[in-house]
Structure 1
Amino acid sequence: MSTIRVAIADDQSLFRKGMMAIINEFEGVETTIEADNGQRLLDALATAAPLPDVALLDLSMPDLNGVETTKLIRRHYPQLKVIILSVYGEDRFVTHLMDLGVNAYLFKNVEPLEVERAIRAVVEKEFYFNEAFLTAMKNRMLVKKPRRLLTENVVAILTAREKDVLDLICKQMTATEIAERLCVSVRTVDGHRTNLLEKTGARNTAGLVLFAIKHGLLDPADLL
């Protein structure tokens, strides 16, 4: 397996250096870019060859914060996976960032093992949802009632096979695993995923899971 390249942007030098030291201890993972704000990260990405696979972003950075950096990464480097590291845990804030195309959201007090798990998950499966995020989604559903499964608009948007693929995506299965389960080719699964992205307006696989939760196709409690 090839080495996973990681970029990190955080204006707190001690935290950034400490995180780099931790990441470089993970087998097959190394930090290739470090920056103290989003703009410097983007400047580094512009000349990086090859690009990193994952970017870890702090939210509160000078010049260009994590939210604006995420938007620009999604626009110019859609293949780059984004993991937010933050001290903020407001439910609405967490889910808003996932809507923007973040692949994972971690609090800064998580254990190193969870950071490693998240990095590997976003590379392999494109998203990582931990208990904190899923709890935030469940709390949001209690405030704002989601649409039911068999509403007219959802039925009109998705085919039965697309729902099957979406369900397996939500179960964190890879394209290869989904293909084996449905007895189809990986290319066919990728085609269904592309159609799902276009129909739902999701930015990535994490967005598809959000769509499923918001429209009553998935109860976040099932993933806890």
Structure 2
Amino acid sequence: MTSPSFALTRQNLAQPVPTLWDVANIFEYATSRFAAIRESLDKSQVSRTPHYQERFVQHLVWEADRFVFPFINMYAINNTQPCLSEYLKQVVKMLTSWQMGALDNPSLFHKFSTHQFDTSGDLMVRYRNLWIHQYTWWKDRFDLMPFEVPNRLTMHEVIQLYRTHMQQTPAAHILLPEIRRRAVGPDPLLNNLRVIRDDLEDLGTKLKDWLTEKIKDGSTALEEMT
């Protein structure tokens, strides 16, 4: 008979192992969530009482614990640098200061609610800032309700959330190349380096083809003008 602990181990091994590309997409998803929270807070007419601020911080920490910090740790384990948007970097910095005791709940709430993030010139602003999310606690009177968001999300659930998110992306998102998937080997860093190498080769080929086509179109137009 299979012991419960062994069955649990086999179940954990069956969980999907994300590539660093998956993690980068999850960070994009987290950026979209924090941006939506920030804009919703600007539009909210609810009185920002100490209780409201405390509950808000509780939910904000939940966001980071589900969609940010575990994956930053994954990068650290693989000895690689996480790719965070500028806005997400600022949010992580605030939350880290709170974790270390440099900020209390009111201070964190104030910094988050007053932080001005400039998205001008960002090609992917529309991609990041989407409003259809699951667990949109910020649209309700979360300060008056029990803390009902799940205490834990599996890797499979997080990946499905960002994939659903990506399906909402505007037409500009098709400019991003599709990423080839591979079986996971024993060395996660080597696996991801191979994926990055092949993806860069594909991107270089596509850019070369695109540039060749544009040069050809430009030459044709120049001949017609002369």
> For the superposition of Structure 1 and Structure 2, which TM-score range results when normalised by the shorter chain?
under 0.3
Structure with more of its chain in strand, by fraction: 1
Larger Rg: 2
Q: Which structure exhibits the higher relative contact order, with contacts defined as CA atoms closer than 8 Å and separated by 6 or more residues?
A: 2
Please give the TM-score of this superposition, normalised by the length of structure 2.
0.28
Structure with more of its chain in helix, by fraction: 2
